[in-house]
């Protein structure tokens, strides 16, 4: 399952709703869920943490195991500031190009460093067999996709357009995908503070994913 829409269309969600988490609806309050993939990163992650603190926001970081090993002090900061973390494999593997045994082993390797029941497949690509294994695991994984894609990883996109992708599509319950990475830096560092400001102006709570 891969998708490259800035807004995941509602018609697609029911087909996968039992297997994937696309958004989180909480009737009691209006909340949105910022997520950051591919870190920890020595420059991008501390920047993100600082922005989140400014807006009293909590978020979820889908970490690459190998980066946790490289930057344990950055990873520790994410935990110390009360955010949640998820598994994003050890080597950022593409599920469509990796056999299931190797894929699951790589996730288990990341799990040695990342204590979480949340998983996000790199590139949004996971095959049916891999998904089934993860849904049947004890305890089962929560496979977290997203509702709003910022496209911050797309170097051809302007920072302004990246912000527009978020602002136009975000709504209460949305899971928003950004990246704390070198590749996404120019767009993420511009769009994130303004996206947080936008949510604050709407009086939406910015929360971490806990399932």
Residues binding Zn ion (CB under 5 A): 37-38, 122
Nearer to Zn ion, 38 or 147 (CB): 38
**Catalytic, out of 41, 88, 179, 180:** 179
Gyration radius of the chain over CA positions = 16
Q: Helical H runs in the chain?
A: 13-16, 44-54, 65-70, 72-80, 100-111, 128-136, 159-169, 185-202
Cis status, amide bond into 142, omega within 30 of 0: no
Shortest Cβ 155–Zn ion spacing (Å):
15
The smaller minimum CB distance to Zn ion, of residues 31 and 188, is found at 188
Of the residues 37, 38, 147, 180, only one is catalytic, namely 37
Please, are residues 82 and 58 in contact by the beta-carbon 8 Å criterion?
yes
Q: How far is the CB of 122 from Zn ion (least distance, A)?
A: 4
37 in catalytic set = yes
DSSP SS3 for 25: coil
Instruction: Considering the complex, state which of residue 93 and residue 204 has its C-beta at the smaller distance from Zn ion.
Output: 93
**Closest distance of CB 104 from Zn ion, Å:** 18
Q: How far apart are CA 83 and CA 77, in angstroms?
A: 9
How far CA 27 is from CA of 31, 35, 181, in Å, comes to 9, 21, 33
State which residue, 95 or 122, has the beta carbon closest to Zn ion: 122
How near is the Cβ of 209 to Zn ion at its closest, in Å? 16
Residues designated catalytic: 37, 179
């Amino acid at each position: 399952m891969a998708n490259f829409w800035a807004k995941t269309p509602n018609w697609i969600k029911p087909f996968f709703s039992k297997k994937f988490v696309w958004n989180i609806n909480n009737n009691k309050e209006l909340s949105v869920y910022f997520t950051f993939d591919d870190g920890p990163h020595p420059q991008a992650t501390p920047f993100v943490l600082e922005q989140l603190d400014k807006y009293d926001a909590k978020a979820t970081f889908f970490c690459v195991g190998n980066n946790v090993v490289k930057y344990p002090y950055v990873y520790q900061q994410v935990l110390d500031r009360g955010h949640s973390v998820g598994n994003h494999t050890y080597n950022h593997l593409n599920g469509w190009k990796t056999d299931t045994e190797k894929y699951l082993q790589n996730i288990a390797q990341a799990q040695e460093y990342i204590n979480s029941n949340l998983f996000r497949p790199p590139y949004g690509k996971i095959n049916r067999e891999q998904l089934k294994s993860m849904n049947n695991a004890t305890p089962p994984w929560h496979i977290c996709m997203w509702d709003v894609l910022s496209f911050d990883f797309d170097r051809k996109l302007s920072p302004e357009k990246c912000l527009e992708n978020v602002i136009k599509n975000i709504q209460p319950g949305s899971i928003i995908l950004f990246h704390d990475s070198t590749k996404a830096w120019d767009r993420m560092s511009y769009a994130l503070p303004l996206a947080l400001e936008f949510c604050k102006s709407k009086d939406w709570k910015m929360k971490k994913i806990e399932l």
